[in-house]
Amino acid sequence: MLQINTFVSKAFLIALSPVLLTEMPIVTMPDSARAAPVKTISFSGYTWEVREQGVSGPGPNQWDPRNVRVDKEGRLHLKISRIKGAKGDEWRCAELTSENKFGFGQYEFQTEGSIDRFDRNIVLGLFDYPVAGEDPDGTNEIDIEFARWGKPQYPNGNFTIYPSEGARGKEDSNVFEYALPHSSPKSIATHRFTRTRKQVSLATFAGEGKAGDKSLAHWTYAPAEQRLIPQKPLAVHINLWLFDGKAPSDSKEIEVVIKKFTFTPSP
């Protein structure tokens, strides 16, 4: 994905005498200064953290937890919303991250609706990604994205893989692009990637991905260098955002439905 999101020293405390330590006042942080609890939701049998953050990448965009919800049928809804203000419209996006990390196996997402008809500035990402601080950007990432990257003539389907190590930016990523055909507003599509130590196979199907369902795109990436395949367990992200932080060219809000996510570990 184009991701492209005063401590007192221990030595000082030890140097203080026990008497001084017992006489030091206990400082309680006011409620307003405490970190707000992270919002979590349950979706497809897993717990997910909902992103709430100021303006930041990708985009950059504003991330609003109110744009993420699960309905009574257990389907995930992501929204890009518009807030009208004195200085003009403000657009807000949505993202959630699994608390679980997943390793080798099959990752599957089912979408409901016409994801093939997004505005040119809309991006839907279904991907795994490293925990912040553990690995540099541009590594350990496998993406299924639906986006035209601001260009209406671009194909709307994208499979992308970033290596486990030694990333050199975009030149060390590998991308497969395809055109997702028009579908009805009630269409179900299944998007899948299977990761092993040596390769990643990605595919999109019309329907629920069962035997006989029409394949819309597929790509197997099996490089000679194992380092080009993510090797570690990773969290799964689902996000809906605006390319370059630009408002939709049609000025319309959008809501996307993810029917379910499943992970099947390798034997």
3-state secondary structure of 21: helix
Which tokens go with 60?
A: 């950059």
Average pLDDT per run of 10 along the chain, which is 267 residues long?
Answer: 37 34 36 60 98 93 97 98 87 98 98 94 96 85 97 96 76 87 86 97 94 92 92 97 97 97 96
Question: What is the per-residue pLDDT for 33?
Answer: 36
Token readout for 79 is: 């929204």
The predicted pLDDT at position 167 comes to: 61
**Cβ distance 242 to 61 under 8 Å?**
yes
For residues 181 and 170, is the Cβ–Cβ distance under 8 A?
no
Compute φ and ψ for 67, nearest 5 degrees. -90, 10
What does the alpha-carbon distance between residue 195 and residue 205 come to, in Å, rounded to a whole number? 18
pLDDT at residue 185 in the model: 78
Element (H, E) at 50: strand 46-50
Q: Enumerate residues 6+ apart whose C-beta is below 8 A from 222.
A: 198, 199
- Kindly report the pTM of this predicted structure: 0.84
